[in-house]
Amino acid sequence: MKIKPAVQLVGHVAVPGDKSISHRSVLLGALGEGETHVHRFGRSGDTQSTIDAVRTLGVEVEDVAEDELIIHGVGLRGLPPGTVDCGNAGTLMRLVMGVLAGQSGRFELTGDESLSTRPMERIAEPLRQMGATIETTDGHAPVIVEGSGALHGVSYELPMASAQVKSAVLLAGLNAEGPTTVVEPVPTRDHTELMLESAGVHVTRRPRSVTIEPAIALHLGEIDIPGDISSAAPFLAAAALVPGSDITIHDVNLNPRRTGFLDVLERMGAHLAIFNRHKAGREQIGDVQIQYTELGAVEVNGNEVPLLVDELPLVALLAVHARGKSVVRGAQELRVKETDRIEAVTDGLRSFGAHVTSRPDGWEINGVPTRLKGGRIDARGDHRIAMLGAVAGLASREGVEIVGADTVAISFPGFFQLLESLVKR
Ligand code: S3P
């Protein structure tokens, strides 16, 4: 697919429901009592994998609409043994390992080629400490989970900042004896904790750790999912880069553990405004407006990385166009995402004419406030890299050809159409 340069982006849009919260709504809904009614479900390749996974395990999920589900929960220990295909979805595989650790029986988890290269021992290790038997294939999928009806709570210190690992341990803790605590090196997204609290679980939150008590039952009822800030980010980046742009994205999730990208944009000098702040359950929502203005360089450090981890490729693109030297550090986790995002971004942006050098844990970028030439980028099967290519194309002189653009459907099937609806050429 070829993305041609834009003259401007103007208008108002809303993006689909948050992917992280959508996965959690289905997994927790499956473990719930009775019906869970999910509104503004962010349907995508990844979240469909989660629906298919719980259906395989005998859970009835009604597709009321594209963005609306009713999940008929089977209770906290009601999932029968089986084989689950997790597709490309790392969040699904990691979280479901935690869910299955506390069920009785043998489960096999498989994934596509990319997911089968991603680290899974980071989840297996704490779950073994809790009493589950887990086998990985050289640290990767396929993974076998031998659940145990007799898990015990642990206090686990995360060796890396990962909401997926934290969530897996907490989900296993629902069916454990005694409390389960996860200590984090730096705070990561807390959607699991918030949803468990809403479901009636006793959750104690401290700045660097979270403890849950085992649950008797989950009562979710209605879940309203806010728009995904990670899906809003490419739109915000495009408007920040294309002169004369002025866009507003409505009903975006503004959970402070997800808004690192907005903070970075502000530090770069972007014109951002947030309106209409309100809450959906325990999550925060608002409308985000951005107007083009010239950007300055920025530094991003490890403490901030979890707050914008999926947006870092876009930060690199912004920095390429921002006057001065930018540095992103402490982002080594990007090397184990759907592809090695540090190298994918460096190779792609350099080929467009940008001054980017990769570091083991991020990038150094010498930014120049001018359009890049453009060219061709291989998405490498990674939805975030395809979206990066699209934004780079809009802000370029000659456009960008994206190889494997279809992969955007992993998180946002309507991405290109919605983006085009804002573009003036
Ligand atoms: C996610 C956590 C992050 C993020 C991923 C979704 C989640 O991964 O990159 O897209 O839903 O918990 P890590 O926990 O591995 O950092």
Cβ atoms of 82 and 59 closer than 8 Å: no
Q: Does the C-beta of 8 come closer than 6 Å to ligand 1?
A: no
Q: Does the C-beta of 333 come closer than 6 Å to ligand 1?
A: yes
Q: What would the pLDDT profile of 59-70 be if each residue is shown by its tens digit?
A: 999 999 999 999
Catalytic-residue membership of 310: yes
Average pLDDT (367-375) is 97
- Alpha-carbon distance 76 to 267, whole Å? 44
Q: Does the C-beta of 410 come closer than 6 Å to ligand 1?
A: no
Q: What would the pLDDT profile of 286-311 be if each residue is shown by its tens digit?
A: 999 999 999 999 999 999 999 999 99
* CATH 3.65.10.10 domain range(s) in the chain: 2-16+226-424, 19-224
Percent of the chain residues past pLDDT 70, beyond the cut: 100
Q: Ligand 1: distance of its center to the CA of 309 in Å?
A: 8
Alpha helices in 81-199 (DSSP H): 90-101, 121-129, 163-173, 191-198
Residue 338 has pLDDT above 90, yes or no: yes
DSSP 8-state symbol, 225 = P
Token pair, residue 309, equals 């981890």
CATH superfamily of 2-16+226-424: Enolpyruvate transferase domain (3.65.10.10)
pLDDT band at 148 (very low <50, low <70, confident <90, very high): confident
Note if the pTM is more than 0.75.
yes
Ligand 1 atom closest to Cα of residue 160: 16
Residue 413 has pLDDT above 90, yes or no: yes
pLDDT of the residue at 222 = 98
Average pLDDT (1-22) is 98
Average pLDDT (242-268) is 98
pLDDT of the residue at 398 = 98
* Pairing status of strand 423-424 against strand 8-14: antiparallel
pLDDT band at 149 (very low <50, low <70, confident <90, very high): confident
Question: 105's torsion region: left (phi>0), alpha (psi -120 to 50) or beta?
Answer: left
pLDDT of the residue at 219 = 98
Q: Ligand 1: distance of its center to the CA of 163 in Å?
A: 6
Q: Ligand 1: distance of its center to the CA of 359 in Å?
A: 21
- Of the residues 310, 340, 347, 406, only one is catalytic, namely 310
Mean pLDDT, the chain, integer: 98
Q: Does the C-beta of 253 come closer than 6 Å to ligand 1?
A: no
Alpha helices in 159-254 (DSSP H): 163-173, 191-198, 229-241
Q: Whose CA is nearest to atom 5 of ligand 1?
A: 91
Average pLDDT (126-131) is 98
Q: What would the pLDDT profile of 188-198 be if each residue is shown by its tens digit?
A: 999 999 999 99
Q: What is the dihedral of CA 340, 345, 346, 349, to 10 degrees?
A: 160
pLDDT band at 230 (very low <50, low <70, confident <90, very high): very high
Q: Does the domain at residues 19-224 carry the CATH identifier 3.65.10.10?
A: yes
Q: Does the C-beta of 228 come closer than 6 Å to ligand 1?
A: no
- Alpha-carbon distance 288 to 280, whole Å? 16
Q: Does the C-beta of 192 come closer than 6 Å to ligand 1?
A: no
